[in-house]
């Protein structure tokens, strides 16, 4: 599915607080098959933006198009859209309400009309995707889980619906390393199958490892839209948007400052180790040549 935000603006109005413009003239085209990260300071409009994708919010001005059709036009089937586009909220645990973990994860597929005998398989594989043991967790109450466990169950609930587009708001919050790696796998798996993933995150390490495109939001506008190497090279934009350099390129940059000719546009620990090896090899060759 292709998504297009066409000059979207959105203003929050409430009786208690002065109205606030959360999005201003946002234009964003999301084609099939990429991994898009949306980053930016708190309050810059990230959550508001992605909640437009499945019609939870309606733009105050501008349009949201899915495969070229305005999702708020008369006759557009928003429910069908929501089946194809799965959104995991920032506080996904508030979506949990059934008595057991099994029922919670099965809820979405049940509503999609998936046959009973297929549901168990889906629940099993969704729980295994998030690293929860089926036998151990199926009968537990979602309310008696730890924070990270609850988030994983909520994520499994959306995965079990097997949406075409996966939209995740802060998917690694509260997750331990093992679970974050699982989420990385899920996102890469989507990508490998040619599907689209959009996620919002403050975790620049996670963003840099995964995203092939990054959109930086700043005061409701798009400040930057491009590749990670380009973004993390641009200290002015990082500073303006209040973002951090991810740990891996930061390390490489510091190492380069100590006089080593290494690339700084590497984003995973594995890539960094390879680059350090290459550098060490080159050094040995030079030394050998001189001798």
Ligand X SMILES: Nc1ncnc2c1ncn2[C@@H]1O[C@H](COP(=O)(O)OP(=O)(O)OP(=O)(O)O)[C@@H](O)[C@H]1O
Task: List residues binding ligand X (CB under 6 A).
Answer: 144-149, 174
Phi, psi of 61 (to 5 degrees): -145, 150
Q: Which of 90, 188, 221, 263 binds other proteins (CB under 8 A)?
A: 90
Query: Can you tell me which residue has the tokens 């948007």?
Result: 241
Q: Let me know if 153 is exposed, middle or buried by CB neighbors in 10 A (0-12, 13-18, 19+).
A: buried
Distance of closest approach, residue 180 Cβ to ligand X, in angstroms: 12
Return the range that interacts with other proteins (CB under 8 A); candidates 27-35, 105-113, 220-228, 268-276: 268-276
Contacts of 13 (CB under 8 A, 6+ apart): 19
Neighbours of 149 (CB within 10 A): 21
Task: Kindly state the helix (H) or strand (E) to which residue 273 belongs, with its residue range.
Answer: helix 269-290
Question: Looking only at residues 143 through 162 of this chain, which bind Mg ion when binding is defined by CB under 5 A?
Answer: 146-147
* Count of residues in contact with other proteins, rule CB under 8 A: 56
Q: Which of 75, 115, 259, 288 binds other proteins (CB under 8 A)?
A: 259
Cα separation, 263 vs 243, in Å, equals: 21
**Residue among 137 and 190 whose Cβ is closer to Mg ion:** 137
Query: Closest Cα partner for 225 from 49, 36, 65, 51?
Result: 36
Letters for 96-125 (x = contact with other proteins by CB under 8 A, - = none) are ------------------------------
- Please state the length of the chain: 291
Q: Residue 27 is encoded by which pair of tokens?
A: 């234009």
121 binds Mg ion (CB under 5 A): no
276 binds other proteins (CB under 8 A): yes
255 binds other proteins (CB under 8 A): yes
Query: Closest Cα partner for 6 from 52, 74, 54, 56?
Result: 52
Return the range that interacts with other proteins (CB under 8 A); candidates 114-122, 153-161, 170-178, 228-236: 170-178
Distance of closest approach, residue 284 Cβ to other proteins, in angstroms: 7
Contact 158, 87 (CB under 8 A): yes
In DSSP terms, 169 is beta-bridged to 200
Distance of closest approach, residue 163 Cβ to other proteins, in angstroms: 23
Task: Kindly state the helix (H) or strand (E) to which residue 217 belongs, with its residue range.
Answer: strand 213-218
14 binds other proteins (CB under 8 A): yes
147 binds other proteins (CB under 8 A): yes
Cα separation, 58 vs 88, in Å, equals: 18
Task: Give residues in contact with Mg ion (CB under 5 A).
Answer: 146-147
Task: Give residues in contact with other proteins (CB under 8 A).
Answer: 12, 14, 16-17, 40-43, 47, 90-91, 93-94, 139-140, 144-149, 152, 170, 173-179, 202, 204-205, 242-244, 247-248, 250-251, 255, 258-260, 269, 272-273, 276-277, 279-280, 282-284, 286-287
């Amino acid at each position: 599915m292709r998504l297009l935000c066409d000059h979207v603006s959105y203003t929050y109005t409430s009786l208690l607080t002065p109205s606030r413009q959360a999005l201003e003239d946002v234009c964003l085209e999301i084609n099939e098959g990429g991994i898009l990260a949306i980053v930016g300071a708190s309050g810059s409009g990230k959550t508001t933006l992605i909640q437009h994708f499945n019609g939870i919010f309606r733009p105050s001005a501008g349009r949201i198009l899915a495969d070229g059709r305005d999702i708020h036009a008369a006759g557009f089937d928003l429910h069908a859209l929501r089946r194809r586009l799965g959104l995991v909220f920032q506080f996904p645990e508030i979506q949990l309400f059934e008595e057991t973990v099994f029922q919670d994860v099965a809820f979405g597929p049940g509503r999609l009309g998936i046959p009973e005998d297929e549901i168990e398989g889906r629940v099993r594989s969704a729980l295994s995707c998030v690293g929860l043991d089926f036998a151990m967790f199926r009968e537990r109450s979602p309310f008696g889980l730890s924070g990270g466990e609850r988030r994983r169950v909520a994520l499994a609930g959306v995965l079990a619906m097997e949406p075409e587009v996966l939209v995740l708001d802060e998917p690694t919050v509260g997750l331990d390393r093992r679970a974050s790696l699982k989420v990385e796998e899920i996102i890469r798996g989507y990508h490998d199958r040619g599907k689209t993933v959009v996620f919002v995150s403050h975790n620049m390490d996670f963003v840099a490892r995964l995203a092939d495109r990054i959109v930086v939001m700043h005061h409701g506008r798009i400040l930057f839209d491009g590749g990670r190497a380009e973004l993390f090279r641009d200290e002015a934009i990082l500073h303006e948007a209040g973002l951090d350099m991810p740990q891996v390129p930061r390390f490489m940059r510091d190492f380069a400052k100590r006089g080593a000719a290494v690339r700084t546009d590497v984003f995973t620990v594995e890539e960094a180790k390879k680059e350090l090896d290459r550098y060490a090899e080159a050094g040995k060759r030079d030394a050998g040549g001189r001798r």
